[in-house]
Amino acid sequence: MGIVKASALLNDLIEKAGGCAVVDGGLATQLEKHGASINDPLWSALCLIKDPDLVKRVHLEYLEAGADILVTSSYQATIPGFLSRGLSIEEAESLLEKSVKLAVEARDKFWNVVKRNPRQSYNRALVAASIGSYGAYLADGSEYSGDYGPHVSLDKLKDFHRHRLQVLVDAGPDILAFETIPNKLEAQACVELLEEENVQIPSWICFSSVDGKNAPSGESFKDCLDVINRSDKVSAFGINCAPPHFIQTLIQELKELTAKAIIVYPNSGEIWDGISKRWLPSKCFDDEKFEQFAPIWRDAGAKLIGGCCRTTPSTIQAISKALKERSGFD
């Protein structure tokens, strides 16, 4: 399948969803709601080792809530991360494969039931393999600063991402999801890897933002988009795990900077403290606010909308309800 045909898969889903598809919500957050303890350098990827059934259960909860796209549990699942826990390369690869398998199994199980009901309003969901930033692996909060220090070169970032990307692609997801990218250098590494590895499934690249205007590194999105806009391997660009009150303005700005589909899945507004490893209270959106703003973000130009950290299946249900009502579903 060529890349043009591959991106058609995402475009078809957006169209079937009425012009704006629903991405799932915080995976780690929902794992924690069910009692998982993830205060660990592997963060949510620890559940791939300790409780894969729970990961699948959370995927199913997001499908029931109306998610059109599931994001896998591989955000902080990395080969060096697993190796530093004493696992072998083969075991690390197998956990990455498992992250895709769990989401695919949940999707297939759910779809096999709902597709029989002619009155249901669900779409067959797509599975997006999460590729968290290098900063996520560092587990020091640097996915929100973009400050990787002077020794992190383009080649180092490509080396970091390459093997995981190959294993995830081979596991058969529908999409690749680069998440919380904080600087231009890492965006360039992701794009060059997609080209070098000749990846034939669509990708999205999402940045975090801490000021509502720029990438966390302080670089402008215009600058960061230079290399992304030149690649047909990237189907969508946007923002994840940034506060929801930044989103409307950011969509309007990004619309001027790229022809790619815009994707937004903000967090609740709480702020991650990378040192104490906890969420600090701040200006937040509750589910009603997400319900109110999802159509506003859609009308501003977003084609994919969901939630990130501290959002849950009830948030996704609220977003799904708002988008489907407005588009004539239900």
Q: Which two tokens stand for residue 170?
A: 């081979």
Tell me how far, at minimum, the Cβ of 190 lies from ligand A1LUD, in Å: 17
Ligand-binding site membership of 224 (annotated): no
Tokens 């996704």, residue located: 316
Using CB under 6 A, pick the residue from 68, 174, 179, 192 that binds ligand HCS: 179
Tell me how far apart the alpha carbons of residues 202 and 6 are, in angstroms, rounded to a whole number: 6
Could you write out the DSSP letters of every residue in 123-139? -PPEEEEEEE-HHHHHT
Contact map string, positions 187 to 226, toward ligand A1LUD, x by CB under 6 A? ----------------------------------------
Question: Pairing mode, if any, of strands 278-280 and 271-273?
Answer: antiparallel
Q: Shortest gap between Cβ of 267 and ligand A1LUD (angstroms)?
A: 8
- Judged by CB under 6 A, does residue 180 bind ligand HCS? yes
Q: Rule CB under 6 A: say whether 147 interacts with ligand A1LUD.
A: no
CA distance 93 to 247: 35
Q: In a 3-state reduction of DSSP, which class is residue 165? A: helix
Answer for which of 67, 250, 309, 319 binds Zn ion (CB under 5 A) is: 309
From 99-107, 113-121, 242-250, 272-280, give the range in contact with ligand A1LUD by CB under 6 A.
272-280
22 in contact with ligand HCS (CB under 6 A): no
Select from Zn ion, ligand A1LUD, ligand HCS, none the partner in contact with residue 71, using the beta carbon and a kind-dependent cut-off of 5 to 8 Å: ligand HCS
Please report how close the Cβ of residue 309 comes to Zn ion at its closest, in angstroms: 3
175-181 and 203-207 as β-strands: parallel, antiparallel, unpaired? Answer: parallel
CA atoms of 287 and 207, how far apart (whole Å): 23
Contacting residues for 96 by C-beta, under 8 A, at least 6 apart? 74, 77, 79, 164, 167, 168, 171
Residue 219: strand, helix, or coil: coil
To the nearest whole angstrom, how small is the minimum distance from the Cβ of residue 308 to Zn ion?
Answer: 3
What is the C-alpha to C-alpha distance for residues 238 and 235, in angstroms, rounded to an integer? 11
Kindly write out the interface string for residues 282-301 of this chain, putting x where it contacts ligand A1LUD by CB under 6 A and - elsewhere: --------------------
Enumerate residues 213-252 that contact Zn ion by CB under 5 A. Answer: 241
Residue 122 engages ligand A1LUD in binding (rule: CB under 6 A): no
**Any binding-site annotation on 20?**
no
DSSP-assigned letter for residue 72:
P
> Distance between CA atoms of 209 and 267, rounded to whole angstroms?
11
- Give residue 212's identity as a one-letter amino acid code: G
Cβ of residue 141: shortest distance to Zn ion, in angstroms?
12
308 binds Zn ion (CB under 5 A): yes
Residue type, 237: F
Residues in contact with Zn ion by CB under 5 A are: 241, 308-309
Binding site, residues?
241, 308-309
